[in-house]
Amino acid sequence: MEQTVRQKNSIRQDNPVLQKILRVVVFILLIALAAFTLIPFVWMVSSSLKLDREVFAYPMHWIPETFHWENYSLIWQKVPLLTYFKNTAFIAIVVTFLQTLTSSFAAYAFAKLEFRGRDTLFLCYIATIAVPWQAYMLPQFIMMRSMGLYDTLWAMVVLQAFSAFGVFLMRQFYRSIPTELCEAARLDGLSEYGIWARIMLPLSKAAIATLVIFTFVGTWNDFMGPMIYLTRDFNKTIQVGLRRFIQENSSDYHLIMAASLCSLLPVSIVFLFLQKYFIEGIATSGLKG
């Protein structure tokens, strides 16, 4: 009895035809799911090339009857997209730079140096990761306003440049680097700054790549921060700028879709080239949600 079960199973496992069929089924299923996932983007592209009255026409054409490329030149005149892009790029680049630099610096102290109060201080960092930003955004806002930072791009910079998350991520990585390496370098007369610059930094390229991508994409896509802080149009980021355009021209569907697509492009390109780091970073650190 048991023998036959085992045989039946081994037949099922080894049967190449069955295996092949199973693989094809899984593949078709995956393609269907991928199509479902991408439908909104396809619809966005398709609608961005139509006239506004064609967007909701029935029956719907996935491929527009005539391609209205002029939508893409029209939006640059109707929306100050370039200003929005410039502001967002400024914030994203400065935040990413400051974040990576200061957190890898601080993480080195937490991971490889011994000093009084280290564990208490680190606990402080960890504890604030658990506190949702939405719970303290108001006092933060009041403070920033009293500092004269309200409605400036610098508000967005200082808001995001010193997050505890970066320090935590880098520290985890530095701890995996053997301490003997640092000690050997110390014996060779390298200062702590030298060790950081010449040994730790070059060894932590993968962790830095993860942090850079996360910070860049996070800042680029940030919505609530700019929504609270940036009110004048020339200060707006692409997210809140796009939203203002949507609210003011809510029936220009084709133009809204074209502008939305433009807002997606930079991050999509970054993702396309660096998706390996992105996905590996999540798989290993598994944090930030």
Partner 1 sequence: MKQGEQKLARARMGRMERKKTLIAYSFLAPNFLGFAIFTLVPVVCAIALSLFEWNGGDISRLRFVGFENYATIFNVKKVSQNGLAYFFNRVDLGIALKNTVYYTVITVPLTIICALALALLLNKIRGAVVFRAVFFFPYVASMVAICVCWSFMLMKDGPINHFIMALGIDFNKSWTADTTMAMWSIILVSVWRNMGYYMVIYLAALQGVPKELMEAATVDGANKWKQFLHVTLPQLRPTTFFVSIMMIISCFKIYDVVAIMTEGGPGRSTKMLVTYIYDEAFTKVRYGQASAISMILLIIVLLVTIIQFRSEKKFSND
CB of 283 to partner 1, least distance (A): 4
Please enumerate, as own/partner, the contacts of 11-19 that have beta carbons within 8 Å and a separation of 24 or more: none
Contact assessment for residue 199 and residue 182, using Cβ atoms and an 8 Å cutoff: yes
Choose, by CB under 8 A, the member of 224, 233, 248, 273 that binds partner 1.
224
Report d(CA 210, CA 168) in Å as an integer: 13
Report d(CA 129, CA 288) in Å as an integer: 9
| Site for partner 1, residues 28 to 57, rule: CB under 8 A | 29-30, 33-34, 37-38, 40-41, 43-44, 47, 55-56
265: buried, middle or exposed (CB in 10 Å: 19+, 13-18, 0-12)? exposed
User: Segment near partner 1 (CB under 8 A), from 71-79, 180-188, 202-210, 238-246?
Assistant: 238-246
Report d(CA 208, CA 146) in Å as an integer: 34
CB of 266 to partner 1, least distance (A): 9
Q: Which is nearer to partner 1, 76 or 133 (CB)?
A: 133
Size of the site for partner 1 (CB under 8 A): 100
Residue for token pair 């680049």: 93
First to last CA, the chain: 51
User: Segment near partner 1 (CB under 8 A), from 70-78, 174-182, 203-211, 219-227?
Assistant: 219-227
Residues near 75 by Cβ (< 8 Å), separated by ≥ 6?
A: 81, 255, 258, 259, 262
Choose, by CB under 8 A, the member of 217, 230, 252, 255 that binds partner 1.
217
Report d(CA 195, CA 92) in Å as an integer: 29
Choose, by CB under 8 A, the member of 5, 17, 63, 187 that binds partner 1.
5
Choose, by CB under 8 A, the member of 18, 21, 124, 197 that binds partner 1.
124
Q: Most distant CA pair in the chain: distance in Å? A: 82
Q: Which is nearer to partner 1, 207 or 242 (CB)?
A: 242
Give which of 229, 211, 266 is closest to 98, Cα–Cα.
211
CB of 216 to partner 1, least distance (A): 10
Residues near 128 by Cβ (< 8 Å), separated by ≥ 6?
A: 164
Choose, by CB under 8 A, the member of 108, 168, 174, 277 that binds partner 1.
108
| Site for partner 1, residues 52 to 91, rule: CB under 8 A | 55-56, 58-60
CB of 141 to partner 1, least distance (A): 8
CB of 178 to partner 1, least distance (A): 19
238 binds partner 1 per the rule CB under 8 A: yes
User: What is the per-residue binding string for partner 1 in 130-169, x denoting contact by CB under 8 A?
Assistant: xxxxxxxxxxxxxxx-x-----------xx-xxxx--x--
Stated as kind and residue range, the H or E segment containing 160 is helix 153-161
Choose, by CB under 8 A, the member of 20, 118, 175, 205 that binds partner 1.
118
